[in-house]
Structure 1
Amino acid sequence: MRLGVVLGGVALVAAVGGCSARDDTPTWTAASPTASASAPSPVNADKAPAYAEPFQYSYTLTRGCDAKAPLGRYNIVVKSGDVIDSKRLGASVQASPSAQVDLGPAAGQDGEEIDPPTLAGLITMARTAEDDGAQVTATYDAKNGRPVKLEIKADDETECFAVSDYDIWHS
């Protein structure tokens, strides 16, 4: 079974069922005029503050463990805890010309797609995967606790996510 499908299902179950056993779930804060999206100072989870998700923000999610050839890059806009817009950047993955079956809209013409998560959803996905026995390596921003990089190893597959271009939107 593909790790992406498993992780997508885990994220959906976590979002719908709230199955994370941790008490330090993300909280909501209004964006302050002084909040900035400066370059992160990455730290491990034990040294990162709890993440307080802003009301509205955007970020770029890079999926894939090879930084030179990622599986996909997405510009994601989040408002009130929901992804309200996402755009795939570039098309580094091409659909297999040898595919004998139509993989449907999930694969699209540019290869495998994902349902882009909020940053809180990305944190939940990593925690749920870890609770389910996966090996998770994560770094977070030392100032605000947002995820910077995640690597999830389950069975013989590894899934990686990197967060960049984080920007808090002010109303």
Structure 2
Amino acid sequence: MRMKLHHTPYISRRISRDLVSCDLVEVRKTREEIADEIEKILDQDIEKEHELDEKVADVLEAQQEEIEYLNADYRQLFWLAKKRMANEFGVILNNEDRYSDIAHKILDYLWEEDYIHYTCSDNKIKNVIFESIDEFLKGFEKADDKVMEKIKNYKRKLIPGTDEYDIVYHRLYEEELIKRGLM
């Protein structure tokens, strides 16, 4: 699952919680300070991808007439252009590689700025961070699936995109996140 901007506060709190409770890590700042810095790193990564998406959209918009003339699939062209331009923007498109890279950035920052200290290998701590991200996003995905199932079986039919649907979806989604300990 892709990480979204509204996930970052939850993910950063989860990572900081896991680092604080890890026996291999000596914490030198408060859990909240650590979570704030992690959230900034996550936000920066997502912002880079948004910049890439905007640039790709601009490029395709400039070629709109030709795209229509050739009857090309816009989504496929968007993905191909994004893949081609990703290195230029420093964006990793493979989620697993991306989360691993983010985990390294978080670890490097926290170590260099003296937020944490450890005496084991970097990879052990990086894996704690990576697992926090991965498990959290999997939990979000499972919660979303559960909410969609509940909405399908809802007494009255809800139409996606309506205000009523959005209100019910967000209420059920938050309940599910709380139930799973993600919020």
Same fold at TM > 0.5: no
Higher normalized strand content (fraction of residues): 1
Greater radius of gyration (CA): 2
Q: What is the TM-score with the length of structure 1 in the denominator?
A: 0.22
Q: What is the TM-score with the length of structure 2 in the denominator?
A: 0.22
Higher normalized helix content (fraction of residues): 2
